Amino acid sequence: MPRGDGTGPAGKGPGTGQGRGQGKGQGRGQGQGLGRMGGPLAGGAVGFCVCPNCGQRQSHERGIPCYQKQCPNCGTAMIRE
């Protein structure tokens, strides 16, 4: 007869024991900082935006991603150097 107090025998169901918190995700420091998450090029005012088409360079403006800027020479979206 079941007791209901949690002291019964161990169950033998199909559970694998891999509930929440068992994952093996990547933590900080995995990418060695080329862009986001605290790397040397992450979101600061230092650096340049470069046109991948013609090579035009502009200093990066903090708070404005380079891909939102257009090259003044050819109109192509710029990328972060």
Residues 19-34 pLDDT 10s: 566 555 555 444 444 5
DSSP state of 67: G
> Is the residue at 32 inside a domain?
no
* Residue 58: domain span: 45-81
> Is the residue at 81 inside a domain?
yes
What does the alpha-carbon distance between residue 14 and residue 9 come to, in Å, rounded to a whole number?
A: 15
What does the alpha-carbon distance between residue 56 and residue 76 come to, in Å, rounded to a whole number?
A: 10
> Is the residue at 5 inside a domain?
no
> Is the residue at 52 inside a domain?
yes
> Is the residue at 72 inside a domain?
yes
pLDDT the model gives residue 25: 56
**pTM to 2 decimal places:** 0.46
Number of separate domains in the chain: 1
Provide the token pair at 44: 């600061």
Q: Which residues face 77 on adjacent strands?
A: 70
Distance between the two ends of the chain, CA-based, in angstroms? 71
> Is the residue at 73 inside a domain?
yes
